[in-house]
Amino acid sequence: MASITEYYAGKSVLITGATGFMGKVLVEKLLWSCPDVKALYILVRPKAGQTMEQRVSHMMKCKLFDRVREANPDFHKKIIPISSELTQPGLSISPEDVEKLSACINIVFHCAATIRFDEPLKHALQLNVIATQELLSLAQRMHHLEAFIHISTAYANCNRKHIDEVIYPPPVEPKKLIESLEWMDDGIVQDITPRLIGDRPNTYTYTKALAEYVVQQEQDKLNIGIIRPSIVGASWQEPFPGWIDNFNGPSGVFIAAGKGILRTMRANNDAVADLIPVDVVVNLTLAVGWYTAVKTYCLYPFKAFSKLVLCLKRNPLEQAFRRPNANITSNYLINQYWILVSHKFPALIYDLFLRLCGQKPQMMRIFNRLHKAIGLLEYFSSQDWEWNSDNISMLMSQLTPEDRTMFNFDVRQLNWPEYIENYCIGTKKYVLNEDMSDIPAARQHLRKLRNIRYTFNTLLVVFIWRVFIARSQMARNIWYFVVNLCFKFLSYFRASSTLTN
Ligand SMILES: CCCCCCCCCCCCCCCCCC(=O)SCCNC(=O)CCNC(=O)[C@H](O)C(C)(C)COP(=O)(O)OP(=O)(O)OC[C@H]1O[C@@H](n2cnc3c(N)ncnc32)[C@H](O)[C@@H]1OP(=O)(O)O
Ligand SMILES: NC(=O)C1=CN([C@@H]2O[C@H](COP(=O)(O)OP(=O)(O)OC[C@H]3O[C@@H](n4cnc5c(N)ncnc54)[C@H](OP(=O)(O)O)[C@@H]3O)[C@@H](O)[C@H]2O)C=CC1
């Protein structure tokens, strides 16, 4: 069998979602490790006032492509953008482009999706299921197609505790659901959504489960591979450690904790997050693409976590609201207590301060958004799943030693504390665009916040003393009793240590 690099040489690859987090890393890795790949066709839509061409040219200037640009300044010639809006019939690809793609594509990587947890069902269905169906129809017209790789999620079947490498029966026949929702207005769909998604937490996991089934239906006609990554985080090694460009999942949590806003979160202390670096997922995806040309199956990865707050203190973010100090608890009431004391109370005080300074209050609004976002993650952070991953071991055993290094997806070699440190630095540098040279100033700011906290606590104690103790005889008696007791203890310890000496 050819090695992975040899396999992709001379191949034309179609990628959806290439402007997204994972898609960009996939494009970069293909160009870097498979320099003889013939062409990368990417489906792109105009967005936010930018044309397709402007978006692609902007994307190629991104720091992520530095090493590829250095090795081959003309690398952009291999990237061929195709205008496409996935929510439109026929993916709104022009007939000429359909012809072109049908004639040349060898491998399809389908990464595009809406990954929002609060997406209205109709839109999530349109993009995650109907667009997948449309892409599969297009794939069937491709004369030289060798593999169709669909990126799903490990949480597509999160309503189960143990998840095997199989496609489970869908919660509903996708075709019937699509037909029924077609005539309903958005209000009715919104009302029935909770009943439809049943024991899944959101429309995202529900529609991703339906998409897997839709893909499986084509397995007799196409060589299909399905990948189920868990929570995809910053890069481990490639193209450099810590690459991340979004607020999704853990990144938003790290940033909110680093800025001192997030102080409490509901999570299962034993199994915090099934985090997987994006470069590992991309290496796996390319290996699956190579292997699927021969065989069909699905795959997914694993779990770990640790000392985040220390990393955030070592690499502080600029202008933090408070010092990073986030606690995890699985207890609902304790979490609510800390939300009140550590989130809402400081926000109220700060907003009061802003009002007194004649400024618009803003902290409560920020916290309300944070609570919504964290609330949506809670389902995933408070539970544990067991995943079967025999296919990963099997695939690893098929790789040549060179491929095992070049397309490494063996996370057993990953040093998690080092990875989390790079992840924190990555969110600082690449998501928030903060400069590392500002770290001394950020540390100074944290010291200032600590002093403010000490001063505030001292004033609070004095206040309590004045209000409750100095004005009540009973409080005074209790106070004297406590002080007396402490004094006696001290005298006892002093006496006993003198005796032992
Ligand atoms: C405490 C100790 C630490 C413990 C660590 C534990 C970590 C556990 C983490 C558990 C994560 C579990 C994730 C499970 C993932 C499943 C995996 C997948 O398959 S799928 C993949 C997973 N999928 C996901 O993770 C999707 C989850 N996200 C969503 O569904 C939505 O973003 C939303 C509903 C949360 C907010 O909607 P909405 O309010 O409408 O807000 P928009 O989105 O429209 O953004 C508006 C603006 O705000 C910006 N911004 C956004 N977030 C944050 C943030 N946290 N902060 C700051 N800023 C943020 C954003 O950039 C934008 O800026 P601009 O462009 O306007 O300038
Ligand atoms: N991130 C994660 O933690 C995980 C992700 N996954 C899966 O990985 C895949 C990629 O995720 P990720 O890269 O994080 O997601 P992103 O949100 O970063 O990227 C989504 C991509 O889909 C494209 N897209 C969305 N809507 C349309 C549309 N209407 N027409 C054309 N293109 C569209 C986006 O294009 P545009 O730039 O134009 O918006 C973007 O390129 C998804 O299938 C997701 O389900 C699975 C597990 C975890």
3-state secondary structure string across 349-364 = HHHHHHHHCCCCCCHH
Q: What is the ipTM of this complex?
A: 0.90
Residue 18: its H or E element: none
Ligand 1 centroid to Cα of residue 216, in Å, is 30
For ligand 1, atom 2, the nearest C-alpha belongs to 326
Percent of the chain having pLDDT more than 70? Answer: 96
Q: % helix / strand / coil in the chain, to the nearest 5?
A: 55, 10, 35
| For the CA of 204, the nearest atom of ligand 2 | 45
Q: What angle do CA 116, 121, 122 make, to 5 degrees?
A: 115
Distance (Å, rounded) from C-alpha 429 to C-alpha 436?
7
Residue 436 lies in a domain: no
Token output for 67: 């090493």
Residues 391, 466: one domain? no
Buried b (16+ CB within 10 A) or exposed e, 265-286: bbbeeeebbbbbbbbbbbbbbb
Residue 477 lies in a domain: yes
Residues 235, 186: one domain? yes
Ligand 1 centroid to Cα of residue 228, in Å, is 20
Residues 407, 496: one domain? no
CATH number at residue 86: 3.40.50.720
Give strand pairing partners of 39: 12
State pLDDT tens for residues 95-137. 999 999 999 999 999 999 999 999 999 999 999 999 999 999 9
Domain count, the chain: 2
Q: What is the DSSP letter of 75?
A: G
Q: Is the CB of 347 under 6 A from ligand 2?
A: no
| For the CA of 327, the nearest atom of ligand 1 | 1
Q: Is the CB of 258 under 6 A from ligand 1?
A: no
pTM of the predicted protein model: 0.87
The count of other CB atoms within 10 Å of the CB of residue 34 is 23
Residue 403 lies in a domain: yes
For ligand 2, atom 1, the nearest C-alpha belongs to 232
Last residue of a domain, one of 414, 432, 465: 414
Q: Output the pLDDT for position 300.
A: 43
Q: What angle do CA 496, 497, 499 make, to 5 degrees?
A: 65
Distance (Å, rounded) from C-alpha 281 to C-alpha 403?
15
For residues 265 and 17, the model is more confident at 17
Token output for 83: 């205008």
Residue 342 lies in a domain: no
Which residue segment(s) compose the domain that 493 sits in? Answer: 441-500
Q: Is the predicted pLDDT of residue 307 greater than 80, yes or no?
A: no
Q: Which of 21, 52, 226 for a ligand 2 pocket mutation test, highest count of atoms within 8 Å of Cβ?
A: 21
Residue 366 lies in a domain: no
Residue in 270, 278, 273, 250 with CA at minimum distance from that of residue 262: 250
Distance (Å, rounded) from C-alpha 327 to C-alpha 267?
9
Q: Output the pLDDT for position 330.
A: 85
Residue in 147, 116, 135 with CA at minimum distance from that of residue 214: 135
Residue 91 lies in a domain: yes
State pLDDT tens for residues 235-277. 999 999 999 999 998 999 999 999 999 999 888 777 656 889 9
Q: Is the CB of 209 under 6 A from ligand 2?
A: no
State pLDDT tens for residues 275-288. 899 999 999 999 99
Q: Output the pLDDT for position 302.
A: 32
| For the CA of 110, the nearest atom of ligand 2 | 43
Residues 280, 131: one domain? yes
For residues 369 and 471, the model is more confident at 369
Residues 392, 465: one domain? no
Buried b (16+ CB within 10 A) or exposed e, 184-222: eeeeebeeebeebbeebbbbbbbbbbbbbbbbbbbeeeb
Residue 203 lies in a domain: yes
Q: Is the predicted pLDDT of residue 303 greater than 50, yes or no?
A: no
Q: Is the predicted pLDDT of residue 295 greater than 60, yes or no?
A: no
Residues 126, 52: one domain? yes
State pLDDT tens for residues 310-353. 899 999 999 999 999 888 888 889 999 999 999 999 999 999 99
